[in-house]
């Protein structure tokens, strides 16, 4: 085994980076990071500098021998890397604002990982990540790519289906947040819980909950109430509905099961220039002002206001387990391999897996309740269609993906919102406009 490992984080100027640094510091005895490269693009250079300086102060305070390097040259950074993490936003926060505001202006729910907005984040992101995979395959072919970039489900689907590098794992903080919520409902220590998850990214269900060996899933269903996360309004779940559903939904399910309530709220926020993206822009500005403080040497508590709380636990636990072949169970996005039997074997799913040095091994859940199969299958079709559209740059492929999504579900509206989003993001969609110009 190598004397220390090299990790490259693409999107190193992200406000999430202090979470990641904290995670590596806490696990240094099990995960001896020798080099950590923070990589960004020219437009993000100022944020990268601020974040890297804070990261160095955190490392120095912790007294661990991690060499931190900031770079705008990802190929230089990737050479001989052991792990690559990606946390990018193609088009930065202004692109997210458009992803949310344009659909709402058409009467559709605007959200960065769901519906029309989620599709366009995928269309912008997937070609860039495929280029990164090409670089990984040439410069560090044995490295694991750990992707936290949304929409994780569609991105993982695209990279596994079309990408040149197959050692890809998608990752989300939602299952960790749900486990914390389940512990709150049961008023128990999280270490006494065992929860199995199955579904898709932002469409995952907790299908079994065990407390000290006893199944207590129904108790969780009865008390799930207003459990949510920072970026999703805590509208109350009906316990009768969840028990009939037969599985515990994640916070993002509110966009589907409580669509009308969420849309009404988003329209009000839209009128007041207060969409979640605009809130995030303000939170990030405040965070970076904090990060500039030379006396700050730890992750600020204010970072919890971002939607990515527990990112460090998810990302660092996964890398640590891959490195040490711990064979513990974590929830990741990976190839189905028949674990969810009604979905294609080659589809990307989010599921509880045994984590080995060879990669994640999904735990077979067999089936999900009939009550959720239709929605899961529909979103899987959307992810597959969206991944194809990102690769082909074909207008009709994108239109099909958009109409398939239940948050659009209107051919008439789809044309209008598709055309407006294409024009708004033209600079980040070269495949689409190259195709159109050839017609």
Rounded to an integer, what distance in angstroms lies between the CA atom of residue 161 and that of residue 389? Answer: 13
Cβ–Cβ < 8 Å for 296, 53: no
Digit-coded pLDDT (tens) for 79-131 = 999 999 999 999 999 999 999 999 999 999 988 889 999 999 999 999 999 99
| Residue 255 annotated as catalytic | no
Q: Does residue 96 lie in a domain region?
A: yes
The per-residue pLDDT for 9 is 97
Check: CB of residue 115 under 8 Å from CB of residue 109: yes
pLDDT of 439 over the 50 cut:
no
- How many structural domains comprise the chain? 1
Residue 422 binned pLDDT confidence (cut-offs 50, 70, 90): very high
SS3 134: helix
What confidence category does residue 306 fall into, taking pLDDT thresholds of 50, 70 and 90? low
**How does pLDDT run across 205-260, given as a tens digit for each residue?**
999 999 999 999 999 999 999 888 877 888 999 999 999 999 999 999 999 999 99
What range defines the domain where residue 69 resides? 5-170+279-305
Residue 308 above 70 pLDDT? no
Query: What is the residue-averaged pLDDT of the chain?
Result: 93
Q: For residue 402, is it within any domain?
A: no
Q: How confident is residue 301, by pLDDT bands cut at 50, 70 and 90?
A: confident
The reply to whether 296 falls in a domain is yes
**Alpha-carbon torsion, ordered 400, 401, 406, 409, to 10 deg:** -30
354-411 pLDDT, tens digit each:
999 999 999 998 779 999 999 999 999 999 999 999 999 999 999 999 999 999 988 9
pLDDT of residue 305: 67
Task: Give the Cα separation of 14 and 47 in Å (integer).
Answer: 7
Percentage of the chain lying above the pLDDT 70 cut: 97
Beta bridge partners of 65: none
Chain centroid to CA 6: how far?
Answer: 23
- Among 36, 18, 16, 12, CA closest to 319: 36
List 194's β-bridge partners, or say none: 210
Determine the Cα–Cα distance for residues 384 and 381; give it in Å rounded to an integer: 5
Q: Which residue has the tokens 């560090």?
A: 140
CATH of residue 36's domain is 3.40.50.720
Which of 16, 205, 210, 252 is labelled catalytic? 252
At 300 the pLDDT is: 87
Residue 176 belongs to a domain? no
Residue 205 maps to a domain: no
Q: Does residue 220 fall inside a structural domain?
A: no
Establish if 347 belongs to a structural domain: no
Residue-level pLDDT at 279 = 87
């Amino acid at each position: 085994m190598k004397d220390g490992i090299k990790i490259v984080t693409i999107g190193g100027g992200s406000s999430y980076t202090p979470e990641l640094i904290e995670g590596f510091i806490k696990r240094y005895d099990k995960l001896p990071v020798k080099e950590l490269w923070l990589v960004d693009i020219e437009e993000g250079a100022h944020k990268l500098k601020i974040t890297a300086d804070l990261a160095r102060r955190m490392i120095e305070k912790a007294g661990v021998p991690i060499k931190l390097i900031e770079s705008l040259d990802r190929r230089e950074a990737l050479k001989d890397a052991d792990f690559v993490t990606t946390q990018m936003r193609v088009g930065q926060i202004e692109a997210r604002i458009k992803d949310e505001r344009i659909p709402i202006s058409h009467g559709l729910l605007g959200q960065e990982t769901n519906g029309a907005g989620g599709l366009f984040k995928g269309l912008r992101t997937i070609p860039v990540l495929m280029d990164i995979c090409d670089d990984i395959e040439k410069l560090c072919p044995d490295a694991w790519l750990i992707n936290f970039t949304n929409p994780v489900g569609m991105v993982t689907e695209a990279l596994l289906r079309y990408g040149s590098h197959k050692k890809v794992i998608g990752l989300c903080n939602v299952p960790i947040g749900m486990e914390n919520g389940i512990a709150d409902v049961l008023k128990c220590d999280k270490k006494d819980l065992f929860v199995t998850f199955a579904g898709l990214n932002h469409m995952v269900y907790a299908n079994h909950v065990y407390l000290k060996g006893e199944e207590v899933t129904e108790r969780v269903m009865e008390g799930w109430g207003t459990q949510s996360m920072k970026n999703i309004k805590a509208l109350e779940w009906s316990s009768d509905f969840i028990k009939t559903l037969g599985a515990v939904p994640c916070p993002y399910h509110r966009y589907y099961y409580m669509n009308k309530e969420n849309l009404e709220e988003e329209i009000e926020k839209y009128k007041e220039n207060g969409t979640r993206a605009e809130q995030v822009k303000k939170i990030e500005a405040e965070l970076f002002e904090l990060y500039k403080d030379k006396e700050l040497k730890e992750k600020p508590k204010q970072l919890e206001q971002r939607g990515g709380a527990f990112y460090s636990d998810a990302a660092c636990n996964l890398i640590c387990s891959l490195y040490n072949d711990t064979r513990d169970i974590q929830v990741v996005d990976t190839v189905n391999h028949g674990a969810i039997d009604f979905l294609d074997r080659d589809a990307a799913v989010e599921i509880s897996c045994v984590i080995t040095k060879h990669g994640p091994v999904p735990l077979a859940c067999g089936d999900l309740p009939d009550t959720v199969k239709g929605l899961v299958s529909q979103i899987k079709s959307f992810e597959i269609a969206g991944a194809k559209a990102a690769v082909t740059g074909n207008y009709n492929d994108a239109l099909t993906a958009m109409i398939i999504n239940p948050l659009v579900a209107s051919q008439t509206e789809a044309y209008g919102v598709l055309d407006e989003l294409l024009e708004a993001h033209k600079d980040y969609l070269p495949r689409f406009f190259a195709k159109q110009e050839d017609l």
